[in-house]
Amino acid sequence: MTLETFHLICIIWTIIGVATFILLQFVTAPYGRHLKKGWGPEISNKLGWILMELPSFAIILYFYVTSNQSNYATVLTLLWLFHYLNRTFIFPLRIRTKGKKMPLAIVTSAIFFNFINAGLNGYFLANFENYTNTNFGDWNFILGSIFFSIGFISNQISDTILINLRKPGETGYKIPKGFLFKLISCPNLFSEFLQWSGFAIMAWNYPATTFLIWTAANLFPRATKHHKWYQSNFSEYPKNRKAIIPWIW
Ligand code: NDP
């Protein structure tokens, strides 16, 4: 495949991501607090998370071990694997979602989405990367790694606060407090967006940008739905909180 063809595929996939963003204004992905019947067979929520995220980990690992990547590309690969090690194998074991299910349709569509995004990023790093003139002192590595690190840490803190709202065995919802929850309903989703913005700045290529757009297409509608859900389920919900971007959205 030529680089031009590869870029064309990234552009088409980005357009589909934008269409998904529009679709998600009208459809709420039915998992977590938005779970509802009528979406076909369901599987365990924890197993669902592992299966959904596994392609993102396995595909990037596959391309890494079967290619000869530069040091710069290797760092990108390791950061990706580090994130997905947590999301695939650690996060699902930490969440307190006893007995909760997830529609197989959601798991299947997420596997597809992760397969393409990891495939594009892995394929680029294995076949097209030309980071010989890029070094770790360049502005985009420094800025991107700061965004990525802050995003990862903030995502961990936010997810931990949310997970700890339930005592073991509890299944209900409470109003989260502290940290960025003072400003927004979904700091975990905001942080995830920050993290992949950092990755895209570091990588500075088509597939990482495409992945960032897909991430935003998923996270922004989900945060908006979470925010409205809080407002309609808790009369005492803080009025000054935004959904995902402090003071703005
Ligand atoms: P949520 O905030 O909906 O849930 C995170 C966990 O905390 C779940 O176990 C949830 O339980 C629990 N929880 C959330 N709010 C409360 C509350 N108020 N009271 C009690 N428990 C609560 O996050 P998502 O499930 O949407 O996402 C999880 C992670 O995956 C996030 O870090 C997110 O950034 C990431 N993600 C990434 C995407 C991407 O495209 N890169 C897309 C979607 C998510 P329950 O499941 O029962 O609701």
Q: What is the pLDDT of residues 162-186, one digit of tens each?
A: 999 999 889 999 999 999 999 999 9
CA distances 105 to 20, 52, 108, 175, 192, Å, are 15, 11, 5, 29, 23
The pLDDT-based confidence of 202 (bands split at 50, 70, 90) is very high
Residue 44, pLDDT > 90, answer yes
Asked if residue 192 has its Cβ within 6 Å of ligand 1, the reply is yes
Work out which ligand 1 atom sits closest to the CA atom of 215.
40
- What is the average pLDDT score of the chain? 97
Rounded CA-CA distance 118/132 in Å is: 23
The pLDDT-based confidence of 134 (bands split at 50, 70, 90) is confident
Work out which ligand 1 atom sits closest to the CA atom of 97.
47
Residue 133, pLDDT > 90, answer no
Rounded CA-CA distance 167/174 in Å is: 11
**Which pLDDT belongs to residue 182?**
97
**Which pLDDT belongs to residue 238?**
97
Asked if residue 189 has its Cβ within 6 Å of ligand 1, the reply is yes
Rounded CA-CA distance 95/166 in Å is: 9
Asked if residue 98 has its Cβ within 6 Å of ligand 1, the reply is no
Asked if residue 159 has its Cβ within 6 Å of ligand 1, the reply is yes
Kindly give the distance from the C-alpha atom of residue 69 to the centroid of ligand 1, in angstroms, as a whole number: 34
**Which pLDDT belongs to residue 45?**
96
Rounded CA-CA distance 132/224 in Å is: 41
Residue 22, pLDDT > 90, answer yes
**Which pLDDT belongs to residue 95?**
97
Give this complex's ipTM.
0.96
Kindly give the distance from the C-alpha atom of residue 4 to the centroid of ligand 1, in angstroms, as a whole number: 37
Rounded CA-CA distance 187/152 in Å is: 11
Residue 234, pLDDT > 90, answer yes
Summarize the confidence of residues 227-248 as an average pLDDT. 97
